Structure 1
């Protein structure tokens, strides 16, 4: 079962993922998503597999935003 910190972490990460590009560029958004994934892992909120999943999702979203294929 997820604890409150994990639920909040995934919620914060998702909010950033779906935020408007008016607030930041695709590159800035991608960098921040990766930074958050690393931070959550370092703090023990998520495990390595969850971190890798977040990075994979962020990478696909970035590729779509900039019009490249991965």
Structure 2
């Protein structure tokens, strides 16, 4: 596993988590975060424990975003 590749991939993942692309709704953001996490695990940049943590963080962000949309805030 290349530490530099892992750092770049994780940085990109957290950037997408914290700064979704313009016109990207919360479902699209969630899907892209999961795809990125899957790809990092598939290529061996992260292990299954790290993958689960990213999925949990993506899920938490999705839930928070949906509450804001559905809650009328």
**1:26-45 alignment to 2 at 5 Å?**
26-45=26-45
Cα RMSD after superposing both structures? 1.7
- Normalising by structure 1, we get a TM-score of 0.88
Partners in 2 of 1:10 and 1:63 — Cα distance? 21
Structure 1 or 2: more helix by fraction: 2
Note if 1:8 corresponds to 2:8.
Answer: yes
Partners in 2 of 1:10 and 1:21 — Cα distance? 17
**Total equivalences in the alignment:** 67
Question: Which residue of 1 is the match for residue 71 of structure 2?
Answer: none
Which structure 1 segments of 5+ residues have no match? none
Bigger radius of gyration: 2
- Normalising by structure 2, we get a TM-score of 0.84
